Structure 1
Amino acid sequence: MNMDIVLGLQWGDEGKGKFIDLISEDYDITARFNGGANAGHSIERHGKRITLKSLPSGIFMKGVQNVIGTGTVLDPVSLRREILNLKEFDGTIEPENNLIISAKAHLVLPTHKLLDIFMEDNPDYTPIGTTRNGIAQAYSNKILRQNLRVGDIDAPDFKSRIERILNRDYSVLAGGDTVLPPWEEISREFFEAIEFLKKFTRTETELFLNTALLTGKKILAEGSQAAMLDIDHGTYPYVTSSSTTASGACSGLGISPKKVGEIFGIAKAYCTRVGNGMFPTEIFDELGEEIRNKGHEFGSNTGRPRRIGWLDLPALRYAIMINGVTQVILTKADILSGMKSVAVCTHYALEDGSMATISGTLPENGLPVLKQMKGWEGDITAIDDASNLPEELKTFLSFLNDELGVPITYLSTGPGRNEILKLNRK
């Protein structure tokens, strides 16, 4: 059996959670391979919506095992809060029975968040527009080899080692103008969350996952954030702190690339971005505000308004290329319903010609060239047969299929869990 991968192809918020929730019942295991509580996957259940931050989106499926992999960073306080919220949302879910956490996943400490805030607000550092959840600090201390991992919580000297790190970080922060909460308060909350964490299975998840593959189990690897936010291949420095690509799934879970099957890439019919960084197709007039409000384009984790832009095909081709995407899932086409025309960036005009694909950087003086296409009318959320889609939307999809060279196999027609169409694969 192979491991399939789901990841975002733009700057996040493409609707990965909905698609994973849709297909996860076909898998035995869903596994998060990167990131932490800095991104949220929104899922609708029974007319209610919940945002998962660290938990895999397969947590709702009976009989599906969920894994938080080695490539993630785990905030015990945030995870405890998330699980308690989940149980309140649906009392039938028992994460203690279907969640396994990598013993090698690194911990996010309370002072990591404070250091994140300090760097975002300090003029001596470049403001990135982070969620201030301490993710970058945890990853940086991982690289510096100064951090502790989930498996360390059972060590007899764990508490003293953590207290030494917290005291060290407090000393650094005390030298600035940061308003610090009482050390005793954050320490108590953290250690309470650690005791809560001990309820869950913690193991060498790479061994668990590879053994599962050998015994015929199907794994779905779930990415956080998106390709254009990748630490290496994204729009640096305005990126996340982990590998968000398909190769990141292999390293984050400890699974060979030879065992990868389908790579599902999620993209919106337009683009959004939260925080700073290049966004060449951004819409600045009232149309952007209209799409933002109609599409409820506010961060699922932070509530921050998302920047709105037209679909960027050069960037999308780049994301498809570096990930080896085999199927594209298109979301939010319903938000563009009722517009007389929609635009798509086909290439960038340069002084010496044009380019079809951009990487994580845009050449100086590169201007997006937009192709205007006829919009589609009507509410598409109730359509349950692709043949009944508006002709203009069919033309839009056909154009994208030709331009991307990868089939669009699913079309999300609305926010509901079942408002998604399976399309014929070209």
Structure 2
Amino acid sequence: MAAAGYCVSGARCPSQAAACPDFQALGNVGRSLKIQVPERTQITRQRFEVRASIASSEVAEKKSVAEDAYSSLSQVCAVLGTQWGDEGKGKLVDILAERYDIVARCQGGSNAGHTIYNNEGKKFALHLIPSGILNENAVCVVGNGVVVHLPTFFEEVNRLETSGVDCKGRLFVSDRAHLLFDLHQTVDGLREAELKGSMIGTTKRGIGPCYASKAIRNGLRVSDLRHMDTFQEKLANLFWDAASRFKGFDYEEKQLDAEVERYKVFADRLEPYIADTVQYVNQAYHQKKRVLVEGGQATMLDMDFGTYPFVTSSNPSAGGICTGLGIAPKLIGDIVGVVKAYSTRVGAGPYPTEVHGDIGDKIRDAGYEFGTTTGRPRRCGWLDIVALNYSCQINGFSYLNMTKLDVLSCLPVLKIGVAYKGKDGKVLSSFPADLQTLGEVEVEYEEISGWEVDISKLRSYRDLPSAAKRYIDRVESLVGIPVRFIGVGPGRDAMIIKD
């Protein structure tokens, strides 16, 4: 048959196609014959249907694998940081929150910044409220181990509710949690100035001074807001203590009066959120409800196990789960350790695998490594297996979640720090407590070829470049713990399950 618009002879048909003799002849044939679909077209259609069926089954398989990986985690599961914080714990918590009834914070304060994204890609930076708040079926708990700055708490509540996230009846604060006041933040800054060249590098959010008040037993707790008749006297002790310790801390009686009036307003507003969370969480467990624990900071910043004194003021390791929520150790099932594919650190302190210059800048820019809480540029470096093994030993992780693997796509060659050597050239048998020793170690590296292709759109482990798989496999072999979850971007869907 001729091409459309042409006669069999090759001449262009008249504008009135019905007047064309070829057209009339073909029309008569078409009416008398059953037109057959060309065999080639049938084969193409069959191939398309097969491909569509395969693609559909692959999508179903990926969903099934992901659901099994997430839903098979234990009734009480914790997500903890393995390095110096900022590993991206919030995203995994946000994903898992859909499978859990309760999401709880057990330690830290507003120095813990978690950045998460909702289904529309909107960004939320949370500091006190657990990341599970974006999932409407999850109840969020701020446990007794957290120090709570109420102005920050209500700022977050306001931002969430303005964005359509309802917090009422879904968010509870422990009546045993300690209150962090503005005066603690002032003291934090004065303390850092006093240290001068030996500054810890805190966020100056008052976390350390508040925990110090807790330790010396002159702190105020959330339950004190229910007794405003004695609140002013207790708060006056905190003001007096700060003024007697720091020359730069001055206050007048009217400042104390103003703070008390401010907290009377906070007390009324907070009342619907206050709960005995120890009782609440334990009752929920016995009712077969699922509890997800969200850790702030990370193990290498732990007060006892981190690079002291360049640490936070709480226990972000596994022990903090029990002391910060009031649940028994035997109730804790899976603990997932979150580790960046490289490492970062904010603030001062020894950092053996830190990388300076062009490579460090590339990692920082590609990973947008700037503090959620402070905006400070993070120090960047290679993955430190010695520190990671130490963290795994302390916490007993069931699985690892490796985040930001996509960031390393910018580098042709990657390094992994596999051992520390002392000044005598001997390999250290463990992660050293002594900071002088840690500052003098020579890191032994292994080099692995990079992949130098964008992997941020990939959603299946089988689709990752072979070099990326080798990197993951090598980390698994060095720490002896499976890397089950792999982050390749900031969105909720940018998580690959290694089955």
What is the TM-score when the length of structure 2 is the normalising length?
0.80
One-letter amino acid of the counterpart of residue 397, structure 1: I
- 2:54 aligned with 1:54: no
Specify whether residues 111 and 232 from structure 1 end up closer, same or farther in structure 2 by C-alpha distance, changes over 3 A only.
same
Name 1:31's counterpart in structure 2: 104
One-letter amino acid of the counterpart of residue 199, structure 2: P
Aligned equivalent of 1:263, options 335, 338, 343: 335
Name 1:378's counterpart in structure 2: 453
Deviates further, 312-321 or 245-254: 245-254
Name 1:306's counterpart in structure 2: 378
Deviation by residue 1:161-203 (Cα, 9 ceiling, x = unmatched): 3541354156337x62458798266555444333322232x22
- 2:222 aligned with 1:150: yes
The answer to whether the Cα contact below 8 Å between 2:239 and 2:251 also exists between their aligned partners in 1 is: no
The answer to whether the Cα contact below 8 Å between 1:344 and 1:371 also exists between their aligned partners in 2 is: yes
Name 1:77's counterpart in structure 2: 151
Name 2:483's counterpart in structure 1: 408
CA shift, 1:48, in A, is: 1.9
| Structure 2 CA distance for aligned equivalents of residues 135 and 287 of structure 1 | 33
- 2:411 aligned with 1:339: yes
Aligned equivalent of 2:363, options 275, 291, 297: 291
| Structure 1 CA distance for aligned equivalents of residues 469 and 196 of structure 2 | 51
Deviation by residue 1:128-148 (Cα, 9 ceiling, x = unmatched): 111111111111111111011
The size of the alignment, in residue pairs, is 420
- 2:278 aligned with 1:198: no
SS of 1:354 mapped into structure 2: coil
Name 1:398's counterpart in structure 2: 473
| Structure 1 CA distance for aligned equivalents of residues 175 and 480 of structure 2 | 40
**Gaps in structure 1 of 5+ consecutive residues:** none
Name 1:7's counterpart in structure 2: 80
Q: How does 1:86-125 map to 2 (within 5 A)?
A: 86-88=160-162, 90-91=163-164, 93-123=165-195
| Structure 1 CA distance for aligned equivalents of residues 432 and 271 of structure 2 | 43
The answer to whether the Cα contact below 8 Å between 1:28 and 1:63 also exists between their aligned partners in 2 is: yes
Kindly indicate which of the two structures has a greater share of residues assigned to strand: 1
Name 2:247's counterpart in structure 1: 176
**Gaps in structure 2 of 5+ consecutive residues:** 1-73
| Structure 1 CA distance for aligned equivalents of residues 189 and 365 of structure 2 | 28
| Structure 1 CA distance for aligned equivalents of residues 100 and 341 of structure 2 | 27
The answer to whether the Cα contact below 8 Å between 2:218 and 2:234 also exists between their aligned partners in 1 is: no
The answer to whether the Cα contact below 8 Å between 1:34 and 1:69 also exists between their aligned partners in 2 is: yes
> How much is the aligned-residue C-alpha RMSD, in angstroms?
2.0
Specify whether residues 133 and 83 from structure 1 end up closer, same or farther in structure 2 by C-alpha distance, changes over 3 A only.
same
The answer to whether the Cα contact below 8 Å between 2:336 and 2:399 also exists between their aligned partners in 1 is: yes
Name 1:129's counterpart in structure 2: 201
Name 1:217's counterpart in structure 2: 289
| Structure 1 CA distance for aligned equivalents of residues 152 and 353 of structure 2 | 34
Structure number, greater radius of gyration: 2
Deviation by residue 1:29-77 (Cα, 9 ceiling, x = unmatched): 0110000101101001222211111101111112211110011111111
CA shift, 1:115, in A, is: 0.6
| Structure 1 CA distance for aligned equivalents of residues 432 and 267 of structure 2 | 41
The answer to whether the Cα contact below 8 Å between 1:76 and 1:194 also exists between their aligned partners in 2 is: no
Specify whether residues 306 and 160 from structure 1 end up closer, same or farther in structure 2 by C-alpha distance, changes over 3 A only.
same
SS of 1:129 mapped into structure 2: coil
| Structure 2 CA distance for aligned equivalents of residues 411 and 357 of structure 1 | 27
Q: How does 1:349-368 map to 2 (within 5 A)?
A: 349-350=421-422, 351=424, 353-355=426-428, 357-361=430-434, 363=437, 365-368=440-443
| Structure 2 CA distance for aligned equivalents of residues 54 and 387 of structure 1 | 37
| Structure 2 CA distance for aligned equivalents of residues 124 and 25 of structure 1 | 46
SS of 1:251 mapped into structure 2: helix
